[in-house]
Structure 1
Amino acid sequence: MNQFREVSTFFKKQYPLNKHGLEELFSLFELKKIDKNTILLKENDFEKELRFLNKGIIREYYSTSEREININFYTQPQFITDLSAFNGGIATKKNQQSLTKAEVLSIDKIKFEQLLEKYQCGKTIIESSFQKLLKHKELLEYNRITKTPEELYQELFIYKKHWLELIPQYHIASFLNISPETLSRIRKRIS
Structure 2
Amino acid sequence: MNTDTNKISSFFETEYPLNKNGLKELLDLFSIKKIKRNTKILTADKEEKQLRFLNKGIVREFYSSKDKETNINFYTEPQFITDLSSFIYDLNTKKHQEALTDVELLSIDKNSFRQILNKYECGKSFIDLSFQKLLKQKELFEYNRVTKSSEELYNELLIYKPNWLLTIPQYHIASFLNITPETLSRIRKRIS
Question: Which TM-score tier does this pair reach, normalised by the shorter chain?
Answer: over 0.9
Deviating beyond 4 angstroms after TM superposition, the runs of 4 or more aligned structure 1 residues are none
Alignment partner, residue 101 of structure 2: 100
TM-score norm. by structure 1 comes to 1.00
| Distance in 2 (alpha carbons) for counterparts of 1:127 and 1:63 | 29
Per-residue CA distance 1:62-120 (angstroms, 9 max, x = gap): 00001000000000000000001111110000000000001000000000000000000
Within a 5 Å distance, the mapping from 1:159-178 to structure 2 comes to: 159-178=160-179
Amino acid at match of 1:75: T
TM-score norm. by structure 2 comes to 0.99
State whether structure 2 residue 16 is matched by structure 1 residue 9. Answer: no
Within a 5 Å distance, the mapping from 1:147-166 to structure 2 comes to: 147-166=148-167
State whether structure 2 residue 121 is matched by structure 1 residue 120. Answer: yes
User: Pairwise CA RMSD of aligned residues?
Assistant: 0.4
| Distance in 2 (alpha carbons) for counterparts of 1:78 and 1:123 | 19
| Alignment size in residue pairs | 191
Structure 2 gap segments, 5+ residues each: none
| Distance in 2 (alpha carbons) for counterparts of 1:45 and 1:65 | 18
Amino acid at match of 1:35: K
Within a 5 Å distance, the mapping from 1:68-83 to structure 2 comes to: 68-83=69-84
Structure 1 gap segments, 5+ residues each: none
Alignment partner, residue 67 of structure 1: 68
Alignment partner, residue 39 of structure 1: 40
| Distance in 2 (alpha carbons) for counterparts of 1:32 and 1:157 | 31
Query: Shift of residue 18 of structure 1?
Result: 0.8
Amino acid at match of 1:179: T
| Distance in 2 (alpha carbons) for counterparts of 1:29 and 1:159 | 30
Amino acid at match of 1:183: L
| Distance in 2 (alpha carbons) for counterparts of 1:160 and 1:19 | 33
Percent identity over the alignment is 64
State whether structure 2 residue 51 is matched by structure 1 residue 20. Answer: no
